[in-house]
Amino acid sequence: MSKIDPHTAASAAKETALPHGAAARRGPFRAGERVQLTDERGRMNTITLTPGTAYHTHKGFLNHDTLIGQPEGSMVESNVGQQYQALRPLLSDFVLSMPRGAAVVYPKDAGQIITMGDIYPGARVVEAGVGSGALSISLLRAVGDSGYLHSFERREEFADIARGNVETIFDGPHPAWKISLGDFQDQVVAQEAPGSIDRVVLDMLAPWECLDAVATVLAPGGVWINYVATVTQLSRTAEAIRADGRFTEPDAWESMVRGWHLEGLAVRPDHRMVAHTGFLMVTRRLADGVTGMTLKRRASKTDFAQEDLDAWTPAAVGERSVSDKKLRRAARDASSTVQTRRNISQAEADEAHGTLPEH
């Protein structure tokens, strides 16, 4: 009787149960996936590998077929000897280069949200707005296949862009993801049972409008984390949370990441940095019937004048309106990689079954 090596058996079992999207991130480059090319000057470009096509620059071309089947980290050459380093884009690369309609949550903030929002595998999370789906991707990675992420977005064009981006990075629809159209504050209470949600993540203009809905769906002890761009939004959200009394005292912070230049003895901070993205604020739901300690600590001025209220209209906080045409283009771009992959898989299936594609 042959003996089964327990280590081999365990790793084989793990292989068959790979989390969604993980297999697509390993092994040699395959047709239909995105590859990031870096040239000798450090300039990056991302291409979707399509058999029989080429990546053209003013310095010649590189056949996609040269890359298909090569290991990640390969160096390849164009027809005129231009060298490129080829790697799969990391999540942080993908998020910053993916099609978008609204501002995305930067990777540095997504990392903070996952850790400080305590987003764990198996958690039941609701999120709004979806925007381009950058944060949804990080949240899905954190909750995993057995978790649950219900994302709400009021604008259909943004939802389409987000769906394309999520399906591109996970190589298809994610089993833990549900996306609903409409205003978070109306939809979440209509679709989720009271006290059934572990974590709420809001990235929108007016999180204070969602306070009652968040208090309804969040389980006692559940975490509510907000990402806002301006001090006025931060202040208004904090005061609304305090005045409500069903939450713990909110904590707020921002994170700044300063890159470093590394060259010989010239080791110093980069001259430029992204100095401001947004502020984060976290609070937790108290048990029903509990009077929050925050009630004893009223802020000195909690009333807002009309001037304060006007300060966070979309125009005042610098949100530029994006044209419908631009949004439709971004949605098309976001789903193009998935579509290319589907076409390639279909062509491969047709070839395997000996059927000729229809013309």
Ligand X SMILES: C[S@@+](CC[C@H](N)C(=O)[O-])C[C@H]1O[C@@H](n2cnc3c(N)ncnc32)[C@H](O)[C@@H]1O
Question: What's the rounded Cα separation, in Å, for the pair 237 and 305?
Answer: 15
C-beta of 29 vs 94, nearer to ligand X: 94
In which residue are the tokens 């679709």 written? 191
Q: Which two tokens stand for residue 164?
A: 């394309």
In which residue are the tokens 């912070």 written? 253
Question: What's the rounded Cα separation, in Å, for the pair 269 and 246?
Answer: 43
The per-residue DSSP string of 246-296 comes to SBPPPEEE------EEEETTEEEE-S-------EEEEEEBPPTTPPPGGGG
Positions 127 through 146 that interact with ligand X (CB under 6 A): 128-129, 131-135
Least distance (Å) between residue 243 CB and ligand X: 20
Least distance (Å) between residue 252 CB and ligand X: 18
User: For ligand X, which stretch binds (CB under 6 A), given 23-31, 148-156, 215-223, 332-340?
Assistant: 148-156
Q: Determine the distance from the C-alpha atom of residue 80 to the mean position of all C-alpha atoms in its chain, rounded to a whole number.
A: 38
Q: Is 153 in the site for ligand X (CB under 6 A)?
A: yes
Question: What's the rounded Cα separation, in Å, for the pair 319 and 103?
Answer: 9
Q: In this chain, which of 203, 218, 233, 335 binds ligand X, going by CB under 6 A?
A: 203
C-beta of 154 vs 332, nearer to ligand X: 154
Q: Which two tokens stand for residue 98?
A: 């993916």
The distance in angstroms from the start CA to the end CA of the chain is: 55
Q: Pattern of binders to ligand X over 76-115, x per CB under 6 A?
A: --------------------------xxxx----------
Q: How many residues bind ligand X (CB under 6 A)?
A: 22
Q: In this chain, which of 55, 84, 148, 152 binds ligand X, going by CB under 6 A?
A: 152
Q: In this chain, which of 22, 68, 189, 205 binds ligand X, going by CB under 6 A?
A: 205
- For residue 48, give the nearest of 336, 342, 348 by alpha carbon: 336
Positions 157 through 186 that interact with ligand X (CB under 6 A): 158, 183-185
The residues binding ligand X (CB under 6 A) are 102-105, 128-129, 131-135, 152-155, 158, 183-185, 203-205
